Structure 1
Amino acid sequence: MTALPDATDRAVALLREFGAENVGHPGGTLLTHLRRVQARLAGWRARPALRLAGLCHAFYGTDGFPAALLTPDRRDDLVAVIGAEAEAIVYLYASCDRKATYPALDQADAVFHDRFTGRSHVPGEQMRRDFAELSAANEIDLAVIDSGFREEWGPELLALFGRVQDLLSADAWRECRTVLAAPGLPSTDRRTGPDL
């Protein structure tokens, strides 16, 4: 298995090679955002493959950020740098058709709709957890950087992450409630009850 610092360095080099430093993104550049997402996941004590996926989650673009650095037919290029496990998380995240997938995301048999292929499948529990954790890290980064984004999307995202909180780490759910909740409103936690 590749050591995380070495894989991180190689991933950053690949991101630079494909221009992530030149792609604008809230709070700076795409590379800056990706590094913040990786750092947030590390702060939540995510395992190495998920942290690497956080760093590379926008390589193929996403349903919310269409600028792609690589096309999905070049998945092997990313696998060679970050490994198959991390790349599979990146692909699941990037390929997710959010409008079709999010409504049932809290269900154990939730069907993921692949926006690249048009196919659907049911990922295993670990991949669902990875998807939820990466999604939370990404959206929280945007909400912290951009108050307009937080005001517009915070309540909807908090509702989404509230529905899937059983898939999130305690640290991720805590930060979702802290960052995304409207000031002065209690947030409900199925694990501990209302946050009063």
Structure 2
Amino acid sequence: MRHPGMLPGQQLPRDARSLAAINLLLARGADKTAHANERSLLEHLIGTARLLLLWNAPIDTVRAGLCHSIYGTNAFRTATMRRNERALLQQTIGRRAEALVWSFSRLRRPATLQRALRHGSNLVRERSGRTRHIDSSSLQQLFILECANLLDQGVSMTHARRLLREATRLQNPSPVMLEDFRRQQRYAKRIRCTESAARSSH
């Protein structure tokens, strides 16, 4: 299910580091790596970054969105870059953005981010099972990044509602982001009703 609010040709990050990241992704074959919804990994990464731009996320978060699954994640196991290449990605998108990408690859997400926000905690659980402390700013930016990641792929009505509930706990949440989740809920509901009607007519 595609996010309904994303139209072709919408603005891409145009700063030098983001353009360098896109070139790196192309060099690593992200445009030929399969992802969900019959799209390439590169399409998904760019779609995520576009949403973050629309939500006026910090530029480091936008750059992280452009590379968020480059090391592989708990849900997407294909690694476009090896973890011993962190220095290269740091040089490309900056240390702060790369640190977000690194954390994103190591966490049991989205559950640990949602749980931390829900309970006002700064403890997150890694894929290894280890629990560690994370600073509040990183927690907020990782959750915004997760929202863009999931929304670009399209989420169910129920999942969109849960994410929206947690998003309202953010400091100064983007009104555009909140409205995008409400739009996704309506879109997913229409799809579900259409599918239910089609099944009942057979």
User: CA separation in 2, counterparts of 1:92 and 1:99?
Assistant: 12
* Counterpart contact for 2:157–2:189, Cα < 8 Å: no
How far off its partner does 1:44 sit? 0.9
Higher relative contact order (CA 8 A, sep 6+): 2
* Counterpart contact for 2:68–2:105, Cα < 8 Å: yes
* Counterpart contact for 2:113–2:143, Cα < 8 Å: no
Name the % identity: 27
1:161 alignment partner in structure 2: 164
How far off its partner does 1:64 sit? 1.4
**The residue matched to 1:63 in structure 2 has which SS?**
coil
How far off its partner does 1:100 sit? 6.2
Question: Structure 2 residue aligned with 1:10, among 17, 20, 24?
Answer: 20
User: Runs of 5+ in structure 2 lacking a partner?
Assistant: 1-12, 191-202
State the Cα RMSD in Å: 2.2
User: CA separation in 2, counterparts of 1:94 and 1:161?
Assistant: 23
The ranges of structure 1 where at least 4 consecutive aligned residues each deviate by more than 4 angstroms after the TM superposition are none
Question: Structure 2 residue aligned with 1:22, among 16, 22, 32?
Answer: 32
Quickly say closer, same or farther: Cα 1:61–1:161, change in 2 above 3 A. farther
User: CA separation in 2, counterparts of 1:141 and 1:81?
Assistant: 24
**The residue matched to 1:61 in structure 2 has which SS?**
coil
2:193 alignment partner in structure 1: none
Code of the residue aligned with 1:96 in structure 2: it is: L
Matched, 1:173 2:178: yes
1:54 alignment partner in structure 2: 65
How far off its partner does 1:140 sit? 0.8
Matched, 1:114 2:126: yes
- Number of aligned positions between the proteins: 173
User: CA separation in 1, counterparts of 2:164 and 2:20?
Assistant: 32
User: Runs of 5+ in structure 1 lacking a partner?
Assistant: 144-149, 185-196
User: CA separation in 2, counterparts of 1:103 and 1:17?
Assistant: 34
User: CA separation in 1, counterparts of 2:143 and 2:183?
Assistant: 17
Report the TM-score when normalising by structure 1. Answer: 0.79
Task: Select the structure that is richer in strand.
Answer: 1
Q: Where does 1:142-161 land on structure 2 (aligned, <5 Å)?
A: 142-143=153-154, 150=155, 153-161=156-164
Code of the residue aligned with 1:169 in structure 2: it is: S
User: CA separation in 1, counterparts of 2:15 and 2:77?
Assistant: 28
Quickly say closer, same or farther: Cα 1:100–1:49, change in 2 above 3 A. closer
Highest Rg: 1 or 2?
Answer: 2
